[in-house]
Structure 1
Amino acid sequence: MRQVPVLPVVVPVAAVTMAILLWRLSRRGRLTVPRAAVALALCVYAAGIVANTVFPIHLDAPRHHSAWTVYVTPFTDYEVNDAVTNIVVFVPVGILVHLLMARPPWWRVVGVATAISGSIELTQLLTGNLLGGGHLADVNDLIFNVVGAAIGLGAVTLLSRVPGVAPLVDRFRWTPDA
Protein backbone atom coordinates (compact mmCIF):
# COMPACT_ATOMS: atom_id res chain seq x y z
CA MET A 1 0.00 0.00 0.00
CA ARG A 2 1.41 3.41 -0.95
CA GLN A 3 1.69 6.02 1.82
CA VAL A 4 2.53 9.70 2.09
CA PRO A 5 6.08 9.64 3.52
CA VAL A 6 6.32 11.13 6.98
CA LEU A 7 9.84 12.56 7.15
CA PRO A 8 9.87 14.43 3.82
CA VAL A 9 6.72 16.25 4.97
CA VAL A 10 7.34 16.79 8.68
CA VAL A 11 11.07 17.64 8.75
CA PRO A 12 10.99 20.54 6.23
CA VAL A 13 7.90 22.04 7.89
CA ALA A 14 9.60 21.82 11.29
CA ALA A 15 12.80 23.38 9.91
CA VAL A 16 10.95 26.29 8.31
CA THR A 17 8.95 26.81 11.49
CA MET A 18 12.17 26.82 13.53
CA ALA A 19 13.70 29.44 11.23
CA ILE A 20 10.60 31.64 11.53
CA LEU A 21 10.54 31.35 15.33
CA LEU A 22 14.23 32.25 15.62
CA TRP A 23 13.77 35.16 13.22
CA ARG A 24 10.81 36.48 15.27
CA LEU A 25 12.75 36.21 18.53
CA SER A 26 15.75 37.94 16.97
CA ARG A 27 13.63 40.70 15.48
CA ARG A 28 12.12 41.40 18.92
CA GLY A 29 15.54 41.39 20.59
CA ARG A 30 14.56 38.32 22.66
CA LEU A 31 16.79 35.66 21.07
CA THR A 32 18.85 33.82 23.66
CA VAL A 33 20.10 30.25 23.87
CA PRO A 34 17.37 29.21 26.36
CA ARG A 35 14.63 30.71 24.16
CA ALA A 36 16.14 29.06 21.09
CA ALA A 37 16.01 25.78 23.05
CA VAL A 38 12.29 26.35 23.64
CA ALA A 39 11.83 26.96 19.89
CA LEU A 40 13.68 23.73 19.12
CA ALA A 41 11.63 21.80 21.69
CA LEU A 42 8.42 23.24 20.24
CA CYS A 43 9.35 22.28 16.67
CA VAL A 44 10.51 18.77 17.56
CA TYR A 45 7.45 18.22 19.75
CA ALA A 46 5.02 19.49 17.11
CA ALA A 47 6.71 17.40 14.40
CA GLY A 48 6.46 14.32 16.59
CA ILE A 49 2.79 14.96 17.34
CA VAL A 50 1.94 15.41 13.65
CA ALA A 51 4.00 12.36 12.64
CA ASN A 52 2.29 10.17 15.22
CA THR A 53 -1.29 11.42 15.01
CA VAL A 54 -1.81 12.25 11.33
CA PHE A 55 0.35 9.68 9.59
CA PRO A 56 0.15 7.14 8.04
CA ILE A 57 -1.88 8.48 5.15
CA HIS A 58 -2.54 5.77 2.58
CA LEU A 59 -2.69 6.93 -1.03
CA ASP A 60 -4.48 3.87 -2.34
CA ALA A 61 -6.66 2.95 0.62
CA PRO A 62 -10.12 1.71 -0.22
CA ARG A 63 -12.88 4.27 0.12
CA HIS A 64 -15.09 3.98 3.18
CA HIS A 65 -18.62 3.02 2.26
CA SER A 66 -20.08 3.51 5.72
CA ALA A 67 -20.74 6.65 7.69
CA TRP A 68 -17.73 8.48 9.07
CA THR A 69 -16.46 7.01 12.31
CA VAL A 70 -15.95 9.27 15.29
CA TYR A 71 -16.16 8.32 18.94
CA VAL A 72 -18.14 10.97 20.80
CA THR A 73 -19.23 9.18 23.98
CA PRO A 74 -16.73 9.97 26.72
CA PHE A 75 -15.20 7.17 28.79
CA THR A 76 -16.81 4.37 26.77
CA ASP A 77 -14.53 1.54 25.63
CA TYR A 78 -11.45 3.59 26.46
CA GLU A 79 -8.45 1.89 27.98
CA VAL A 80 -6.39 3.26 30.86
CA ASN A 81 -3.22 2.87 28.79
CA ASP A 82 -4.67 5.16 26.11
CA ALA A 83 -5.67 7.72 28.72
CA VAL A 84 -2.21 7.73 30.33
CA THR A 85 -0.52 7.99 26.93
CA ASN A 86 -2.66 10.97 25.94
CA ILE A 87 -2.02 12.69 29.27
CA VAL A 88 1.75 12.19 29.08
CA VAL A 89 1.94 13.28 25.44
CA PHE A 90 0.21 16.60 26.20
CA VAL A 91 2.11 17.58 29.38
CA PRO A 92 4.60 19.54 27.20
CA VAL A 93 1.74 21.67 25.81
CA GLY A 94 1.06 23.12 29.26
CA ILE A 95 4.74 23.81 29.80
CA LEU A 96 5.36 25.30 26.36
CA VAL A 97 2.28 27.55 26.41
CA HIS A 98 3.39 28.84 29.82
CA LEU A 99 6.83 29.66 28.41
CA LEU A 100 5.53 31.21 25.19
CA MET A 101 3.00 33.53 26.83
CA ALA A 102 3.33 36.05 29.65
CA ARG A 103 2.04 33.92 32.55
CA PRO A 104 -1.21 32.92 30.89
CA PRO A 105 -4.25 32.18 33.04
CA TRP A 106 -5.11 28.48 33.35
CA TRP A 107 -8.19 28.83 31.14
CA ARG A 108 -6.08 30.15 28.25
CA VAL A 109 -3.74 27.15 28.47
CA VAL A 110 -6.78 24.84 28.57
CA GLY A 111 -8.21 26.70 25.56
CA VAL A 112 -4.98 26.34 23.58
CA ALA A 113 -4.72 22.64 24.49
CA THR A 114 -8.35 22.11 23.49
CA ALA A 115 -7.76 23.87 20.16
CA ILE A 116 -4.63 21.82 19.44
CA SER A 117 -6.21 18.51 20.42
CA GLY A 118 -9.44 19.37 18.62
CA SER A 119 -7.44 20.16 15.48
CA ILE A 120 -5.69 16.80 15.74
CA GLU A 121 -8.98 14.94 16.15
CA LEU A 122 -10.56 16.84 13.24
CA THR A 123 -7.53 16.10 11.08
CA GLN A 124 -7.76 12.42 12.03
CA LEU A 125 -11.44 12.41 11.13
CA LEU A 126 -10.79 14.01 7.74
CA THR A 127 -7.68 12.03 6.82
CA GLY A 128 -9.22 8.80 8.04
CA ASN A 129 -12.27 9.21 5.86
CA LEU A 130 -11.00 11.18 2.88
CA LEU A 131 -7.34 10.19 2.54
CA GLY A 132 -7.08 6.75 4.08
CA GLY A 133 -5.47 7.92 7.33
CA GLY A 134 -4.72 5.36 9.99
CA HIS A 135 -6.29 7.02 13.05
CA LEU A 136 -9.79 7.47 14.46
CA ALA A 137 -11.16 10.66 15.99
CA ASP A 138 -12.07 10.15 19.66
CA VAL A 139 -13.43 12.64 22.20
CA ASN A 140 -11.59 10.71 24.93
CA ASP A 141 -8.26 11.63 23.34
CA LEU A 142 -9.27 15.29 23.46
CA ILE A 143 -10.31 15.08 27.13
CA PHE A 144 -7.13 13.36 28.28
CA ASN A 145 -4.90 15.59 26.13
CA VAL A 146 -6.34 18.63 27.91
CA VAL A 147 -5.79 16.94 31.29
CA GLY A 148 -2.15 16.41 30.29
CA ALA A 149 -1.71 20.07 29.36
CA ALA A 150 -3.24 21.13 32.68
CA ILE A 151 -0.79 18.87 34.53
CA GLY A 152 2.11 20.39 32.54
CA LEU A 153 0.92 23.89 33.42
CA GLY A 154 0.58 22.92 37.08
CA ALA A 155 4.09 21.48 37.13
CA VAL A 156 5.75 24.52 35.58
CA THR A 157 3.69 26.88 37.73
CA LEU A 158 4.77 25.07 40.89
CA LEU A 159 8.38 25.00 39.71
CA SER A 160 8.21 28.74 39.03
CA ARG A 161 7.31 29.32 42.69
CA VAL A 162 10.37 27.55 44.05
CA PRO A 163 12.90 30.14 45.24
CA GLY A 164 15.89 30.15 42.95
CA VAL A 165 14.11 28.25 40.18
CA ALA A 166 11.85 31.11 39.07
CA PRO A 167 14.73 33.12 37.54
CA LEU A 168 15.82 30.02 35.63
CA VAL A 169 12.31 29.46 34.25
CA ASP A 170 12.14 33.16 33.31
CA ARG A 171 15.26 32.77 31.14
CA PHE A 172 13.26 30.37 28.92
CA ARG A 173 10.13 32.55 28.85
CA TRP A 174 9.52 34.26 25.51
CA THR A 175 7.57 37.25 26.69
CA PRO A 176 8.20 39.62 29.55
CA ASP A 177 5.75 39.37 32.43
CA ALA A 178 2.48 41.17 31.86
Structure 2
Amino acid sequence: MLVVAPLTAVALGLLLWRLHRRGGMTVLRVLVGVALCVYVAGIVANTVLPIYLDKPDSDMPWHAYLNLTPLADTEVADMVRNVVVFVPFGVLLPLVTGTRSVVRVVLSGFLLSLLMETAQLVNALVANGGHVADVNDLLANTLGAPIGYALLRLGERVPGVRDVVRAATWPPPRPRS
Protein backbone atom coordinates (compact mmCIF):
# COMPACT_ATOMS: atom_id res chain seq x y z
CA MET A 1 0.00 0.00 0.00
CA LEU A 2 2.97 2.28 0.59
CA VAL A 3 3.67 2.20 -3.14
CA VAL A 4 0.14 1.98 -4.53
CA ALA A 5 -1.33 5.03 -2.75
CA PRO A 6 1.32 7.55 -3.92
CA LEU A 7 1.24 6.17 -7.47
CA THR A 8 -2.54 6.46 -7.45
CA ALA A 9 -2.32 10.06 -6.30
CA VAL A 10 0.19 10.88 -9.07
CA ALA A 11 -1.97 9.12 -11.69
CA LEU A 12 -5.05 11.02 -10.51
CA GLY A 13 -3.16 14.30 -10.65
CA LEU A 14 -2.07 13.60 -14.23
CA LEU A 15 -5.57 12.57 -15.28
CA LEU A 16 -7.12 15.67 -13.75
CA TRP A 17 -4.47 17.88 -15.37
CA ARG A 18 -5.35 16.25 -18.71
CA LEU A 19 -9.06 16.81 -18.07
CA HIS A 20 -8.41 20.46 -17.17
CA ARG A 21 -6.38 20.99 -20.35
CA ARG A 22 -9.33 19.66 -22.33
CA GLY A 23 -11.54 22.26 -20.68
CA GLY A 24 -13.88 19.63 -19.28
CA MET A 25 -13.43 19.83 -15.52
CA THR A 26 -16.73 18.99 -13.82
CA VAL A 27 -17.47 17.26 -10.55
CA LEU A 28 -18.89 14.21 -12.34
CA ARG A 29 -15.85 13.84 -14.59
CA VAL A 30 -13.51 14.25 -11.62
CA LEU A 31 -15.44 11.45 -9.90
CA VAL A 32 -14.95 9.26 -12.98
CA GLY A 33 -11.19 9.98 -12.81
CA VAL A 34 -11.12 9.12 -9.11
CA ALA A 35 -13.07 5.93 -9.76
CA LEU A 36 -10.64 4.91 -12.52
CA CYS A 37 -7.58 5.52 -10.34
CA VAL A 38 -9.04 3.71 -7.33
CA TYR A 39 -10.08 0.83 -9.60
CA VAL A 40 -6.61 0.46 -11.12
CA ALA A 41 -4.99 0.77 -7.68
CA GLY A 42 -7.23 -2.03 -6.43
CA ILE A 43 -6.27 -4.22 -9.36
CA VAL A 44 -2.57 -3.59 -8.77
CA ALA A 45 -2.87 -4.21 -5.04
CA ASN A 46 -4.81 -7.43 -5.50
CA THR A 47 -2.92 -8.94 -8.41
CA VAL A 48 0.69 -7.88 -8.16
CA LEU A 49 1.11 -7.52 -4.42
CA PRO A 50 2.38 -8.89 -2.13
CA ILE A 51 6.05 -8.62 -2.96
CA TYR A 52 8.28 -10.46 -0.51
CA LEU A 53 11.75 -8.96 -0.63
CA ASP A 54 12.93 -11.01 2.36
CA LYS A 55 11.22 -14.30 1.51
CA PRO A 56 13.63 -17.21 1.07
CA ASP A 57 14.23 -18.41 -2.47
CA SER A 58 11.95 -21.16 -3.67
CA ASP A 59 13.12 -24.39 -5.26
CA MET A 60 10.16 -24.31 -7.64
CA PRO A 61 10.97 -24.06 -11.36
CA TRP A 62 9.89 -20.86 -13.13
CA HIS A 63 7.15 -22.60 -15.10
CA ALA A 64 5.38 -23.53 -11.86
CA TYR A 65 4.28 -19.87 -11.74
CA LEU A 66 2.73 -20.02 -15.21
CA ASN A 67 -0.44 -21.76 -16.39
CA LEU A 68 -0.88 -21.72 -20.16
CA THR A 69 -3.51 -24.47 -20.37
CA PRO A 70 -6.95 -22.93 -20.90
CA LEU A 71 -9.71 -24.11 -18.56
CA ALA A 72 -7.47 -26.65 -16.82
CA ASP A 73 -7.90 -26.84 -13.05
CA THR A 74 -9.95 -23.67 -12.94
CA GLU A 75 -12.93 -23.05 -10.71
CA VAL A 76 -16.13 -21.46 -11.97
CA ALA A 77 -16.21 -19.03 -9.03
CA ASP A 78 -12.68 -17.86 -9.84
CA MET A 79 -13.56 -17.36 -13.51
CA VAL A 80 -16.71 -15.40 -12.60
CA ARG A 81 -14.74 -13.26 -10.15
CA ASN A 82 -12.18 -12.44 -12.85
CA VAL A 83 -14.93 -11.52 -15.31
CA VAL A 84 -16.61 -9.27 -12.74
CA VAL A 85 -13.31 -7.57 -11.87
CA PHE A 86 -13.01 -6.23 -15.43
CA VAL A 87 -16.62 -5.08 -15.86
CA PRO A 88 -15.78 -1.64 -14.35
CA PHE A 89 -12.91 -1.31 -16.82
CA GLY A 90 -15.39 -1.73 -19.68
CA VAL A 91 -17.45 1.11 -18.23
CA LEU A 92 -14.67 3.49 -17.18
CA LEU A 93 -12.48 3.26 -20.29
CA PRO A 94 -15.14 4.68 -22.66
CA LEU A 95 -15.99 7.42 -20.18
CA VAL A 96 -12.38 8.61 -20.00
CA THR A 97 -11.35 8.00 -23.62
CA GLY A 98 -14.69 8.53 -25.36
CA THR A 99 -14.22 5.33 -27.35
CA ARG A 100 -17.31 3.81 -28.93
CA SER A 101 -15.51 0.75 -30.25
CA VAL A 102 -16.08 -2.61 -28.59
CA VAL A 103 -12.93 -3.85 -30.36
CA ARG A 104 -10.84 -1.17 -28.60
CA VAL A 105 -12.42 -2.06 -25.26
CA VAL A 106 -11.71 -5.78 -25.77
CA LEU A 107 -8.15 -5.09 -26.92
CA SER A 108 -7.53 -2.71 -24.00
CA GLY A 109 -8.95 -5.23 -21.52
CA PHE A 110 -6.77 -7.95 -23.03
CA LEU A 111 -3.64 -5.79 -22.90
CA LEU A 112 -4.26 -4.67 -19.31
CA SER A 113 -4.87 -8.24 -18.23
CA LEU A 114 -1.79 -9.45 -20.13
CA LEU A 115 0.26 -6.76 -18.39
CA MET A 116 -1.10 -7.89 -15.02
CA GLU A 117 -0.37 -11.58 -15.67
CA THR A 118 3.13 -10.73 -16.92
CA ALA A 119 3.74 -8.62 -13.81
CA GLN A 120 2.57 -11.52 -11.65
CA LEU A 121 5.03 -13.87 -13.35
CA VAL A 122 7.91 -11.42 -13.05
CA ASN A 123 6.98 -10.76 -9.42
CA ALA A 124 6.88 -14.49 -8.66
CA LEU A 125 10.29 -15.03 -10.24
CA VAL A 126 12.08 -11.90 -9.05
CA ALA A 127 10.41 -10.85 -5.80
CA ASN A 128 8.93 -14.14 -4.64
CA GLY A 129 5.35 -12.95 -5.15
CA GLY A 130 2.51 -15.27 -4.39
CA HIS A 131 0.57 -15.35 -7.67
CA VAL A 132 0.57 -17.61 -10.71
CA ALA A 133 0.23 -16.06 -14.16
CA ASP A 134 -2.81 -17.83 -15.56
CA VAL A 135 -4.25 -17.86 -19.07
CA ASN A 136 -7.69 -18.44 -17.53
CA ASP A 137 -7.45 -15.12 -15.70
CA LEU A 138 -6.45 -13.47 -18.98
CA LEU A 139 -9.46 -14.96 -20.77
CA ALA A 140 -11.93 -14.10 -17.99
CA ASN A 141 -10.63 -10.54 -17.54
CA THR A 142 -10.78 -9.97 -21.28
CA LEU A 143 -14.42 -11.13 -21.30
CA GLY A 144 -15.32 -8.77 -18.44
CA ALA A 145 -14.33 -5.60 -20.31
CA PRO A 146 -16.87 -5.93 -23.18
CA ILE A 147 -19.56 -6.95 -20.70
CA GLY A 148 -18.99 -3.66 -18.87
CA TYR A 149 -19.01 -1.81 -22.18
CA ALA A 150 -22.28 -3.50 -23.18
CA LEU A 151 -23.85 -2.57 -19.83
CA LEU A 152 -22.78 1.05 -20.35
CA ARG A 153 -24.23 1.16 -23.85
CA LEU A 154 -27.46 -0.56 -22.71
CA GLY A 155 -27.72 1.97 -19.89
CA GLU A 156 -27.47 4.76 -22.45
CA ARG A 157 -30.81 3.62 -23.86
CA VAL A 158 -32.48 4.85 -20.67
CA PRO A 159 -33.04 8.62 -21.05
CA GLY A 160 -31.87 9.66 -17.57
CA VAL A 161 -28.85 7.37 -17.69
CA ARG A 162 -27.93 8.62 -21.17
CA ASP A 163 -27.71 12.17 -19.83
CA VAL A 164 -25.47 11.09 -16.95
CA VAL A 165 -23.19 9.09 -19.29
CA ARG A 166 -22.86 12.07 -21.63
CA ALA A 167 -22.09 14.38 -18.72
CA ALA A 168 -19.54 11.92 -17.30
CA THR A 169 -17.73 11.26 -20.60
CA TRP A 170 -14.55 13.23 -20.92
CA PRO A 171 -14.29 15.66 -23.81
CA PRO A 172 -11.91 14.87 -26.69
CA PRO A 173 -8.52 16.60 -26.70
CA ARG A 174 -8.52 20.16 -27.94
CA PRO A 175 -7.00 20.61 -31.39
CA ARG A 176 -3.48 22.01 -31.26
CA SER A 177 -3.06 25.41 -32.79
AA at the equivalent of 1:115:
L
Deviation at 1:24, TM superposition (A): 1.1
Query: How many residue pairs get matched?
Result: 170
What is the DSSP-based 3-state SS (H/G/I as helix, E as strand, rest coil) of the residue aligned with 2:74? coil
In the other structure, the counterpart of 1:130 is: 126
Deviation at 1:130, TM superposition (A): 1.1
In the other structure, the counterpart of 2:106 is: 110
1:64, 1:129 within 8 Å by CA — same for their partners in 2?
A: no
Q: Give the whole-Å Cα distance in 2 for the aligned partners of 1:164 and 1:59.
A: 50
Deviation at 1:43, TM superposition (A): 0.8
**Equivalences for residues 1-178 of structure 1 within 5 A:** 7-65=1-59, 66-68=61-63, 69-176=65-172
Deviation at 1:105, TM superposition (A): 0.8
Deviation at 1:162, TM superposition (A): 1.9
1:35, 1:174 within 8 Å by CA — same for their partners in 2?
A: yes
What stretches of structure 1 move > 6 A for 4+ residues in a row? none
TM-score (norm 2): 0.92
Deviations along 1:48-79, one digit per CA (max 9) or x if unpaired, are 11011011110122334423331011111000
The unaligned stretches of length 5 or more in structure 2 are 173-177
> Structure 1 residues 162 and 103, CA, compared in 2 at 3 Å: closer, same or farther?
farther
CA RMSD of aligned residues (A): 1.2
Q: Give the whole-Å Cα distance in 2 for the aligned partners of 1:102 and 1:149.
A: 15
Deviation at 1:167, TM superposition (A): 1.6
Deviations along 1:114-169, one digit per CA (max 9) or x if unpaired, are 01000000000000011111111000001000111111011001011222321211
Q: Give the whole-Å Cα distance in 1 for the aligned partners of 2:18 and 2:62.
A: 44
What is the DSSP-based 3-state SS (H/G/I as helix, E as strand, rest coil) of the residue aligned with 2:82? helix
AA at the equivalent of 2:113:
S
Q: Please identify, of 12-21 and 167-176, the stretch whose mean Cα deviation from structure 2 is larger.
A: 167-176
AA at the equivalent of 1:81:
A
> Structure 1 residues 137 and 36, CA, compared in 2 at 3 Å: closer, same or farther?
same
The unaligned stretches of length 5 or more in structure 1 are 1-6
